[in-house]
Amino acid sequence: MRKVDIFDTTLRDGEQSAGINLNTAEKIEIARQLERLGVTIIESGFPAASPGDFDAVKRIAGTVKNSIVTGLARSVKSDIDRSWEALRGAEQPHIHIFLATSPIHMEHKLMKTPDQVVEAAVESVKYARRFFPLVQWSAEDASRSDLEFLAHIIGKVVEAGATTVNIPDTVGYATPQEYGDMFRYLKENVKGIDKVKLSAHCHNDLGMATANTLAAIENGADQVEGTINGIGERAGNVALEEIAVALHIRKPVYGVETTINLHEIKRTSQLVSQLTGSLIQPNKAVVGKNAFAHESGIHQDGMLKNPLTYEIITPELIGDAATELVLGKHSGRHAFKDRAIKMGFDLSEEKLNNAFIEFKKLADRKKAIVEEDLMVLLTDQQIHD
């Protein structure tokens, strides 16, 4: 089965989220957990950005052994030199160089002509290959770039020695169809592309990062980049846990495998949330608090008869606690009885009915029914003659 590499950028693009700032100790703790999770590559920071980032990248490069460790660099020698200083101690030194290729970025941000951009990209890749065995080159804002120009510059960086080429949807603008087509076009039109890895990097500005990443995989992407819990610039990056679980659950559709240990997902998600202070929305796919919670009576009844009726993923798969049947105003008698038995009550049908009637009245008044509420209702019936 075709293998897809998972490139985690929680510690670089993820840390670029407004309000997130991790210190070196926190970054090392997350990097160790990412290694346990089984990601192929950890982007541990941007060594030239600050002494703190440099230190964290260097320490992670010296600590992590089972994942490749990389750092981000602009296409300038000073960034590449700084990255080499930070990453030379890694098992397999890897650098990630980027340069924008869209007309708006080249003209208004870089103030370079397309030819100058090609030259800078080629020079930086050649220079990086003097030190690094693994060089990833990213065409920033690729999805808003001219496709022929993109194919041209990629051909040049491949010739210059890049080992991976990344095609970011930097501003989350592409649709799944467009993004998938880009991968197919580049695979078919760039000389030497089959000798390098082609990578997808999606942002979530229009909520399409997961769909776009999966479209890239369907069209031949060898590597996908994202973050845990989808943290990242603006609306964030693609959430890697969603990709890993989708590829697992829909294996016959995608036909690829990753090295992710799915049982480590929940723990990784919680660690990242705690250390970054970035809360997870309750209805977040895969790792949200409600991802395995069922409230409606019809759903709860189905779940009690056969969990596959309403759950395509089991909480155990991602290392989560068991499914929760939340008792609220939509819940049915079946789930109420099930909970009463689990709480140790053995009531007659009549007493159970009375308790259920009281529970429904309470559920209309109260947003959340907690264990103590049930205890009072059920005890009341138990001691009532």
Residue ranges binding ligand KIV (CB under 6 A): 13, 72, 98, 138, 140, 166, 168, 170, 201, 203
**Residue closer to ligand KIV (CB basis): 166 or 213:** 166
Which of 132, 56, 136, 49 lies closest to 88 in space, CA to CA?
A: 132
Work out the angle between the directed axes of helices 371-383 and 349-365 (0-180°, nearest 10).
Answer: 140
What, of ligand KIV, Zn ion, none, does residue 98 touch, CB below 5 to 8 Å by kind? ligand KIV
Binding segment for Zn ion among 12-20, 147-155, 262-270, 308-316 (CB under 5 A)? 12-20
Q: What are phi and psi of 43, to 5 degrees?
A: -85, 110
Which of 355, 357, 358 lies closest to 378 in space, CA to CA?
A: 355
Residue 247's SS3 state is: helix
**Separation between Cα atoms, residue 208 and residue 23, nearest integer Å:** 31
What, of Zn ion, ligand KIV, none, does residue 140 touch, CB below 5 to 8 Å by kind? ligand KIV
What, of Zn ion, ligand KIV, none, does residue 138 touch, CB below 5 to 8 Å by kind? ligand KIV
**Separation between Cα atoms, residue 83 and residue 61, nearest integer Å:** 11
CB 47 within 8 A of CB 9: no
**Residue closer to ligand KIV (CB basis): 203 or 337:** 203
Residues belonging to the binding site are 13, 201, 203, 237
How many positions of this chain bind Zn ion (CB under 5 A)? 1
**Separation between Cα atoms, residue 272 and residue 274, nearest integer Å:** 6
Binding segment for Zn ion among 9-17, 50-58, 275-283, 287-295 (CB under 5 A)? 9-17
Q: For residue 271, how many other CB atoms are within 10 A of its CB?
A: 19
13 binds Zn ion (CB under 5 A): yes
Residues belonging to the binding site for Mn(2+) are 13, 201, 203, 237
**Separation between Cα atoms, residue 174 and residue 384, nearest integer Å:** 64
**Residue closer to ligand KIV (CB basis): 114 or 288:** 114
140 binds Zn ion (CB under 5 A): no
**Residue closer to ligand KIV (CB basis): 238 or 377:** 238
301 binds Zn ion (CB under 5 A): no
Smallest distance, ligand KIV to C-beta of residue 279, A: 23
**Residue closer to Zn ion (CB basis): 13 or 79:** 13
H-state helical runs in 38-146: 51-63, 77-87, 103-104, 114-129
**Cβ-closest position to Zn ion:** 13
The site for Zn ion (CB under 5 A) is made up of 13
